Amino acid sequence: MLYEQIGEEVRNYIDQLTKPRGSLGRLEELAIDIAKMTGERFPNVTPPGVLVFAADHGIAKEGVSAYPQEVTAQMVLNFVRGGAAINVFSKQIGAIFSVVDVGVATDIHEERVIDEKVAYGTNNFADEEAMTKEEAERAVQAGYRQANAMIDYGIRCLIVGEMGIGNTTTASALLAAISGRNVAELVGKGTGVRDEALKRKRDVIERALAKHKPSASDAIDLLTKIGGFEIAAMAGAMIAAAERRIPILLDGFICTVAALIAERLDERVVHYMIAGHRSQEPGHRIALELLHKEPLLDLRMRLGEGSGATVAFPIVNMALAMLHMATFSSANVATGSDHDE
């Protein structure tokens, strides 16, 4: 669990730094939160690790994405060749980067892609259950294993990203089941679908939820009935990070729904999560509220891949740099007396 005592020490220490009390706002809270997670008075989150899980979704057959399913496999190759947004952003923050195939619909002939393929995409959850219980468990374990491998390698903060055409439909269905909210208020345009496809997306989710009746609290039931492999793997990766006291910087909508799945596997993981940004996808606000997390940024992004989290990472780093300021006594600066508290 969290190091509450160290958190209190860091809170008091921040008040001795040469700045008006509380003047660094959320950066102060972030530093305290990370001290509580790691048990360190001067935590360090470099290097970060970016772990992207890719998988396909049978629901894509329903015409719910603006792009064809092949894009998942094509983007996986783009990731290992360094051409995607997540590659250029990862470089900027000095991240260790890996991409994992947990369920892409075709074979990926590229040795730099980590092969944890559980199946060739999920079943279409509009017609049948997305996967078996065993497949759901295997996908969670694949994520758990790959995050542990990155942590063994030396990363100090975990960013979990995803790639999967159709996965905003899957994530919206999961969130509707978890939250009990109306599908209409949380479903969004994903990669940019037009009104007609958006309506199809809403209808397909409503029909599937009525058919499968997934449990709001049972992660494996949710994954089995709705999917998907990358969401399961992301949840497993988050569990590994929390167990090893590595802060998790959340990305957008799909990532945050995976965080809700992780919470249903082990509620303690939520203490290790920091919300990087708020995506344009309307359900993201709802998912963040359920986790009681306030995002660091809102740049009207809706990409996925872990991109929003990488953009937020420098803010986390700044919060920890703050702890290396001088104190009033070491710098010989007079303290105030008429401030709050």
Ligand X SMILES: O=C(O)c1ccc[n+]([C@@H]2O[C@H](COP(=O)([O-])O)[C@@H](O)[C@H]2O)c1
Binding site for ligand X (CB under 6 A): 65-67, 162-169, 190-191, 251-254, 279, 281, 284, 302-305
**DSSP secondary structure letters along 35-93:** HHHH--SS----SEEEEEEEE--GGGGGS-SSS-THHHHHHHHHHHHT-SHHHHHHHHT
In angstroms, the CA 134 to CA 314 distance is 39
Please, which residue, 120 or 153, has the CB nearer to ligand X? Answer: 120
CA distance 303 to 61: 21
Nearer to ligand DMD, 76 or 155 (CB): 76
3-state class (DSSP) for residue 190:
coil
CA dihedral of 179, 69, 300, 321, whole degrees rounded to 10: 90
CB of 256 to ligand DMD, least distance (A): 15
Q: Select from 67-75, 102-110, 173-181, 218-226 the region that touches ligand DMD (CB under 6 A).
A: 67-75
Task: Tell me the closest approach of the beta carbon of residue 230 to ligand DMD, in angstroms.
Answer: 11
User: Does residue 140 belong to the site contacting ligand DMD (CB under 6 A)?
Assistant: no
Q: How far is the CB of 64 from ligand DMD (least distance, A)?
A: 13
Joined together, the tokens standing for residue 207 give: 């029909």
Which of 125/253 has CB closer to ligand X?
253
Nearer to ligand DMD, 38 or 170 (CB): 170
Tell whether residue 101 is a contact of ligand DMD (CB under 6 A). Answer: no
The reply on whether position 305 binds ligand DMD by CB under 6 A is yes
Strand partners, 55: 103
Cβ 72 to ligand X, closest distance in Å? 7
Sequence-distant (6+) residues with CB within 8 A of 183 are 172, 173, 176, 202, 205, 206, 209
Residues 153-192 that bind ligand DMD (CB under 6 A): 163, 191
Catalytic machinery residues? 305
Least CB distance to ligand DMD at residue 61 (A): 17
Tokens 């009033």 label which residue? 328
Residue 7's closest CA among 36, 39, 43, 47?
A: 36
The tokens for 162 are 């995803």
* Token pair for 233: 């793997």
Rounded to an integer, what distance in angstroms lies between the CA atom of residue 69 and that of residue 84?
Answer: 17
By a kind-dependent CB cut-off of 5 to 8 A, residue 252 interacts, out of ligand X, ligand DMD, none, with ligand X
With CB cut-offs between 5 and 8 Å by kind, which of ligand DMD, ligand X, none does residue 190 bind? ligand X
73 touching ligand DMD, by CB under 6 A: no
C-alpha to C-alpha distance for 232 and 236, rounded to whole angstroms? 6
Q: Which stretch binds ligand DMD (CB under 6 A): 19-27, 52-60, 272-280, 300-308?
A: 300-308
| Cβ nearer to ligand DMD, comparing 248 with 303 | 303
Binding residues among 75-94 for ligand DMD as defined by CB under 6 A: 75
3-state secondary structure at position 107 = coil
What is the rounded distance in angstroms from the CA atom of residue 259 to the CA atom of residue 237? 10
Q: Shortest Cβ distance from residue 303 to ligand DMD (Å)?
A: 6
Indicate whether 280 belongs to the interface with ligand DMD (CB under 6 A). Answer: no
Binding status of residue 33 toward ligand DMD by CB under 6 A:
no
* CB contact set of 41 (below 8 Å; sequence gap of 6+): 6, 9, 10, 13, 35, 323
CB-nearer residue toward ligand DMD: 86 or 286: 86
Tokens found for residue 184: 């209409």
Is 303 near ligand DMD (CB under 6 A)? Answer: yes
Query: What residues line the site for ligand DMD (CB under 6 A)?
Result: 67, 71, 75, 163, 191, 303-305
